[in-house]
Structure 1
Amino acid sequence: MAIDRGQIAVAAPEPGDSGPASSPVTFDAQPDPAMVGAIDLHVHGYPDVGLRWRMRTDDLTLAKLARAYGMAGIVLKSHFWPTMDRALLLNELLDADNFTIYSSITLNQLVGGISPMAVEAAAAHGARVVFLSTWGSANDHAHGGVVRRQVIDPMFPSFSGHLDRSAIRVVDGNGRLSAECRDVMAVSADLGLTVSTGHLSTDESLAVARHAADMGFQKLIFAHPFSPSIRAERAVMGEIADLGVTVEMTQALTVLPRAPITVGDIHATIGELGSQRVVLTSDVFFDWLPPQAEVFRMFLGQLRSLGCTTEELRTMVVDNPARLLSR
């Protein structure tokens, strides 16, 4: 598939503006061959945690840019609210037969936590991905994750106290998966949904992975295991991957001011796990980063410079996402 280099307008920030950028800045889109047909399974739009937390672009501009780079779709994620209504409207506005915005639900306290009812209702509205608890998980609360420290706590000072009482853990003291989480997995399997482990701890993610293997569920993603809130050892990543789980590697973790990992770490992990067991995502969450599609292009280019082939990259951004989102 040939992609023409074209002029792309991306919104630039207005001084004092509390929303996404609004003044267009034009530059040439230069798609990476590996991006043609790619689907980014972890994209934060605007708004996510509130109008005060800016993103680099509005959702429609983000989607148009991703399409111009040759991508086939994105999964729109919010830490707070389901994204089904937004995705439906955005797809109608785009009116494209070669690009799809997929929607999701994140099972934090605001939507009822680990709730099979929430998952079933979300699927009825078009959701394709279920993220298990993120900032609402006991693991993230204990570590004070990046989203909590830099975004949620400053904006919502009451949340920490509420989480002291309601933080979510999906295993009991003996490491057994909770009945609610088993029900969420069952509903997700029945409805053909993809499940991500969110910000659960390593032991919780292992419990979810083992249960998924027992039930023959092949659409589970071990979310950003290098995250400071998770800190999974590579041996654990391998153990989870051996259970049939796809391991997510995100660009965002490599570009933070105090980045916990480098792209070299990700490249080494791909070498150990194999590209067929890895999915690459952007997970852009700060307005000082380039737009999602450009971050994604940079990520692929960096990995290629370290030795990944275009075939390996396409396995991780085209084939594996398509398999995970398939019905």
Structure 2
Amino acid sequence: MTTTAPVVEVLHGAVDLHCHSGPNPFAREFDHVEAARDAERLGMRGILVKSHHHNTVMDLLAMKRELSEVSTPVFGGIALNAQVGGINPYAVAMSLRMGGRAVWFPTFSSRCHCENDHHGFPESDVEIPNRIIDVTGDDGKLIDEVYDVIDLIVESDALLSAGHVKPAEAHAIFTAGRERGVRRMIISHPNFVIDADPGQCAELAELGAYIEHEVGMYDPMGFRKWDPALLLEWIRKIGPDRTVLSSDLGQRGRPMPVDAFRRVGEELLALGLGEDELRQVACRNPAFLLGLDAERPDPVAG
């Protein structure tokens, strides 16, 4: 696949909600500053950097001087895995009140992740203890700390991600989020790790969640090398108004996010996705979720 000018124009102002830049215990291809410089090539409005292990807001504060020299802003957040104490409202409060824009419920500490294979996840450069972090108790109901975290997300009008929890658990979290006033919710790679089908995702979208797919899995130079026709099928089933494209890149040996966005974006256009639809899923929807736009974008025509 080659890159042409139109896809660059369509993707100008994109927002990446799933960038795995470093520092990180997992080997990374680039750090947060290099990620921002890469995003600058596409005129990205912002990127959200994610670590499975720590609060990335602190990284960005330490890199503030270098990041100020790049036009694309970088935002951080916290993933509620064992390394931060699990479902820890104290850690969430610190992250959000110091500028964090996102909270991910357990990813590689989730029961769903731990009880399945690791799906080709990178190996850590250091030994990191882990344990299962459950979002529900023995009664099957969400634990109190989940509600405490949700209330903190509401306070900051931040993004709530279901992480790698099971679809039924994501449904419970999104239901609670909607009831308590969360405006920005997302579930990542439904057909990777969590195994959520389109019907389940449609139900989550009805609760107000956005369904995120990762160009790094559909790029021929990327991880899974899935056929972009599958991605288009997902977009058609859920609709561009509830779909987001992100990169999920930064792992050692994988492509730069902008290159993957370009290649996959061009293929989607060639397969019949409209330019306005591509802007909706890559630019407008994620801009709202990251808090760059105050309100949800208008639906795309058609």
TM range (shorter): 0.7 to 0.9
How far does residue 94 in structure 1 lie from its aligned partner after superposition? 3.5
Tell me if the contact between 1:62 and 1:293 (Cα under 8 Å) persists in the aligned partners. no
Say whether the 8 Å CA contact 1:254–1:260 is kept in structure 2. yes
1:254 Cα deviation after fit: 3.0
Structure 1 residues 125 and 232, CA, compared in 2 at 3 Å: closer, same or farther? same
1:151 maps to 123
Alignment of 1:31-70 (within 5 A): 32-50=8-26, 53=27, 55-70=28-43
Which of 188, 191, 194 is 1:223 aligned to?
188
| Secondary structure of 1:279 counterpart | strand
Aligned partner (choices 162, 172, 175) of residue 140 of structure 2: 175
- CA distance 1:308–1:89, shift in 2 (3 Å): farther
Deviation at 1:302, TM superposition (A): 1.9
Higher normalized contact order (CA 8 Å, seq sep 6+, divided by chain length):
2
User: Secondary structure at the residue paired with 1:114?
Assistant: coil
Q: Which has the larger share of strand?
A: 1
Residue 299 of structure 2 corresponds to none
Residue aligning to 1:126: 99
Deviations 1:107-160 (A, max 9, x none): 111111111111111112211111111111111000132365x414x853x73x
Aligned residue identity for 1:49? P
Query: Is the CA contact 2:52–2:107 (under 8 Å) kept in the aligned structure 1?
Result: yes
Looking at structure 2, the residues matched to 244 and 188 of structure 1 have their Cα atoms a distance apart, in angstroms, of 15
TM-score of the superposed pair, with normalisation by structure 1: 0.81
Say if 2:248 is the partner of 1:283: yes
Q: Among residues 112, 128, 132, which one is paired with 1:139 in the alignment?
A: 112
State the identity as a percent.
27
Unaligned runs of 5+ in 1: 1-27
**Which residue identity lines up with residue 230 of structure 1 in the other structure?**
I
Find the aligned partners of 2:203 and 2:241 in 1 and give their Cα distance.
15
Counterparts of residues 1-327 of structure 1 (less than 5 Å) = 32-50=8-26, 53=27, 55-95=28-68, 98-146=71-119, 148=121, 150-152=122-124, 155-156=126-127, 159=129, 162-163=130-131, 167-227=132-192, 229-255=193-219, 259=224, 261-326=226-291
In 1: Cα distance, 2:289 partner to 2:73 partner: 15
Q: How far, CA to CA, are the matches of 1:102 and 1:193 in structure 2?
A: 11
Specify every segment of 5 or more residues in structure 2 that has no aligned partner in the other structure, as ranges.
295-302
The Cα RMSD (Å) is 2.4
> Where does residue 21 of structure 1 map in the other structure?
none
Residue by residue over 1:140-184, the C-alpha shift from the partner in whole angstroms, topping out at 9 and shown as x without a partner, is: 000132365x414x853x73xx52xxx011123443211111111
Which structure: larger Rg?
1
Worse overlay, 249-258 or 206-215: 249-258
User: Which string of whole-angstrom CA distances, capped at 9 and with x for unpartnered residues, describes residues 193-232 of structure 1?
Assistant: 11111111111111112212222322110121111x2111
Distance 1:220 1:324 in 2: 7
Q: Please give the secondary structure, in 2, of the residue aligned with 1:127.
A: coil
Contact 1:289–1:295, Cα closer than 8 Å, also in 2 = no
